[in-house]
Every structure is written in structure tokens, then in C-alpha cells.
């Protein structure tokens, strides 16, 4: 949508980091299958490590040695328990340059998603492009460009999700090694309605030190960061500009108010034990992110998908640690949210 107009927001929250924050071990639950040349499996890193695929730092890239074994497969297994999943996001990748595509399937049997091509696992139901997933067929997604990809699908509560990267041209990788910034998997949540009209959107240069003034009255400043990064090999989330002088600078921030939310839209049925079938702000957003602890992907318009949809998405976290719910009528509440862009 032109001019980044705000409609009904959508949150893409990551179940991997929610489980890690809850005490789940990374090793044994969120793994890259080890290299096995005879089985066409590639798990050799040239930079980075397995854990860094899930560190929510998209500019911290993990590179696989795909140029050394171009017909191999990079297979990532995720044990997401029985939490619902309806999207996969891959940030700061070079799949187009590496001539790669990605296969996504699910199963309740771990062995199904450990095998090359995951033939016994279940395909994504009704997959659809959100961002840079231009070609989708038989659970295989082929991005048109390097950068960032989000694909959504019908909800599943299968325990295991398999993500397999493979060569695109005749199932063969190109001469450029595949790299990935980070991977998010989880359930997206649409707010029940658009925020109140009094939305505040800011673009902050918070990486600048205070302006200094010399004795002669001249002013100068220093900056640790101007915000997003854009090069031919690294892109901050949802930036497509490969030259820094074409990257929009500053940190985007939203102050949103939602009025007259029903308690059924805001709160889970019971709070003594998480009911994974609930759909509510606290259950699907606030609880999954642990307030400001875990970043997420935020869209200002749930219907913005496809070409140029990057403009409506940011990688973000909450700029608050308390979700205040003010009751204004019987079982009806007002809430406020501050959402701040991450790089």
C-alpha cells in the first residue's frame, strides 16, 4: 500500500525463541542436519554456527559451504512442540544469488523431516506469498531476489517442521555460498480491528550522540548508527536498497491505541495453563514475545502481501514492558502499544 498507510496490523511472533526463553535447549530441538555427502546433506558452516540461525540478529549471517557440494541439501529441523504454526520467515538471505529454493514441510515424526526431500512429511496447506516468495509449488518456495522472505500457510500443530534449502537450477546450487541471517517460525496474529485514528508514527535518529557546540558557536555531532544497512551482501530487514545512500535512515516507531477490545480478543480463556487453541493478544503476541524481550515481525496492514509489501513490514520489538488494559465497559478494554524497529 502506498505511503505505508496503517490499516489492521499483523504480528508474526517466533515460537523458536519463545521456547528457548522458556528453557528449551537449542541443541537437539533446533538443528541443522550434519553433513553426509553420501546422503546429499550439507551441514558445513563457513561462517557462523547453528545457534546463530535463531539469534534474532539478521545481520549476523550464517554461511553454508554449498559451492563445495552443489547437489547437497541444507536441512533444518525444528521441534516446536504442539504450538500452532502458520508462517516461516527467512531474513537477510541470498537465495537468489546462491540459486536456491526452500522446501517446507511438517510432521509429528522427527524422521520424516530429517530425510532429504521429506517425502513422508506433510506439505504446507494453501501456502501464500507475504514477502518475496514469488514462486510457490508443492511446498517449495523460490524467492525472486535476495533479502527477506515470508510465506504463510494454514495453521498446523504438527510438532516438527523441516526447512530444506536446495539448488534451484536442476536442484543444484550456484557458485555463491548460501547465507541466512535468521529464521522465524510461528503463528501470525491479526488484531481484531485497526488502531484508533490518533496513531503516532516517528522516525528517530537515536543512534546520534548529543549535538556539541564549540566555544566559537559551531555545532557538530557524532553518530553510532543511522539505522538500516544496505549493501550487495547484507540487508537490514525489509530494506531492498543495496547502496547505503539509497537506504531510508532512522528507526521507525509506532504508538498505537486500540479501543473497545472484547476480553475474548484480548485475554485467554484461563491463565493458569496456556491453552494453545486460544487466539488473543496476550496469548499470541504479548506472551510469545515476553514483552520487549523477543523481537517479532510487524505489519501495519495484514492485507499487504506480494510485490513491494516490504514497505509495510518491520522487524521490531515492544518499547514497553507492561501491557496496560483499562476496562471501559463490561468485558471491554482499551490498550496501548509502542512498537520500535530493530535492525
CA atoms within 13 A on the CB side of 298: 28
Location of C-alpha cell 555545532: 219
Domain region containing 264? 200-341
Nearest-angstrom CA–CA distance, 125 and 136: 12
pLDDT tens across 68-77, in order? 999 999 999 9
pLDDT on residue 42 = 92
DSSP line for 31-49: EEPPPBGGGTB---EEES-
Check if the beta carbon of residue 185 is closer than 8 Å to that of residue 161.
Answer: yes
CATH number at residue 158: 2.60.120.260
**Residue 50, in any domain of the structure:** yes
Pair 130, 259 in one domain:
no
pLDDT on residue 210 = 76
Q: Which three cell numbers stand for residue 151?
A: 510465506
Radius of gyration of the chain from Cα atoms?
21
Pair 181, 206 in one domain:
no
Which residues, other chains included, contact 236 with Cβ-Cβ below 8 Å and sequence gap of 6+? 58, 59, 92, 227, 228, 229, 230, 247, 315, 343
pLDDT on residue 169 = 87
pLDDT on residue 273 = 80
Pairing of strands 179-180, 160-167: unpaired
SS3 97: coil
DSSP state of 244: G
H or E stretch covering 335: strand 332-341
Pair 163, 289 in one domain:
no
| Total structural domains within the chain | 2
**Residue 126, in any domain of the structure:** yes
Location of C-alpha cell 510461528: 186
Pair 158, 222 in one domain:
no
**Residue 194, in any domain of the structure:** no
DSSP line for 4-32: G---S-EEE--HHHHHHHTT--STTTEEE
Computed from CA positions of residues 177, 181, 186, 189, in that sequence, does the dihedral angle turn out positive or negative?
negative
**Residue 151, in any domain of the structure:** yes
Pair 153, 55 in one domain:
yes
Check if the beta carbon of residue 26 is closer than 8 Å to that of residue 51.
Answer: yes
Nearest-angstrom CA–CA distance, 281 and 10: 11
Location of C-alpha cell 517449495: 140
Pair 251, 156 in one domain:
no
Which residues, other chains included, contact 335 with Cβ-Cβ below 8 Å and sequence gap of 6+? 257, 258, 261, 266, 281, 323, 324, 325, 326
Nearest-angstrom CA–CA distance, 145 and 93: 9
Pair 112, 55 in one domain:
yes
pLDDT on residue 225 = 85
State the pTM of this model: 0.95
Pair 214, 182 in one domain:
no
Pair 182, 65 in one domain:
yes
H or E stretch covering 264: helix 263-266
Bridge partners, 332 (sequence order): 262, 329
**Residue 195, in any domain of the structure:** no
H or E stretch covering 288: helix 287-289
Pairing of strands 62-64, 45-47: antiparallel
Name the stretches of the chain with pLDDT < 50. Answer: none
**Residue 193, in any domain of the structure:** no
pLDDT on residue 2 = 65
Dmax (CA) of the chain: 75
Amino acid at each position: 500500500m502506498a505511503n505505508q498507510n496503517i490499516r489492521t496490523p499483523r504480528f508474526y511472533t517466533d515460537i523458536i525463541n519463545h521456547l528457548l526463553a522458556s528453557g528449551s535447549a537449542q541443541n537437539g530441538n533446533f538443528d541443522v542436519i550434519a553433513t553426509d555427502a553420501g546422503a546429499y546433506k550439507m551441514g558445513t558452516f563457513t561462517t557462523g554456527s547453528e545457534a546463530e540461525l535463531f539469534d534474532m540478529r539478521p545481520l549476523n549471517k550464517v554461511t553454508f559451504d554449498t559451492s563445495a557440494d552443489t547437489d547437497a541439501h541444507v536441512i533444518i529441523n525444528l521441534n516446536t512442540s504442539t504450538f500452532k504454526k502458520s508462517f516461516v520467515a527467512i531474513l537477510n538471505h541470498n537465495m537468489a544469488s546462491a540459486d536456491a529454493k526452500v522446501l517446507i514441510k511438517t510432521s509429528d515424526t522427527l524422521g520424516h523431516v530429517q530425510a532429504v526431500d521429506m517425502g513422508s512429511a506433510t506439505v504446507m496447506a494453501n501456502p501464500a506469498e507475504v514477502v518475496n516468495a514469488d514462486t510457490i509449488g508443492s511446498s517449495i518456495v523460490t524467492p525472486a531476489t535476495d533479502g527477506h522472505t515470508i510465506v504463510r500457510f494454514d495453521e498446523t500443530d504438527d510438532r516438527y517442521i523441516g526447512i530444506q534449502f536446495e539448488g534451484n537450477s536442476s536442484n543444484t546450487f550456484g557458485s555463491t555460498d548460501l547465507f541466512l541471517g535468521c529464521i522465524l517460525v510461528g503463528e501470525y496474529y491479526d488484531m481484531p480491528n485497526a488502531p484508533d485514528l490518533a496513531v503516532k508514527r516517528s522516525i528517530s535518529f537515536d543512534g546520534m550522540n548529543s549535538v556539541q557546540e564549540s566555544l566559537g558557536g559551531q555545532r557538530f555531532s557524532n553518530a553510532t548508527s543511522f539505522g538500516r544497512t544496505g549493501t550487495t551482501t547484507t540487508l537490514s530487514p525489509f530494506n531492498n536498497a543495496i547502496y547505503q545512500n539509497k537506504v531510508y535512515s532512522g528507526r521507525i516507531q509506532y504508538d498505537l491505541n486500540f479501543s473497545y477490545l472484547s476480553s475474548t480478543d484480548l485475554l485467554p480463556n484461563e491463565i493458569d495453563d496456556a491453552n494453545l487453541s486460544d487466539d488473543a493478544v496476550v496469548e499470541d503476541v504479548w506472551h510469545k514475545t515476553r514483552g520487549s524481550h523477543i523481537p517479532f515481525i510487524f505489519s501495519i496492514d495484514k492485507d499487504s502481501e506480494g510485490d513491494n509489501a516490504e514497505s509495510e513490514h518491520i522487524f521490531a520489538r515492544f518499547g514497553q514492558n507492561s501491557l496496560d488494559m483499562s476496562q471501559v465497559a463490561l468485558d471491554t478494554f482499551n490498550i496501548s502499544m509502542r512498537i520500535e524497529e530493530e535492525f
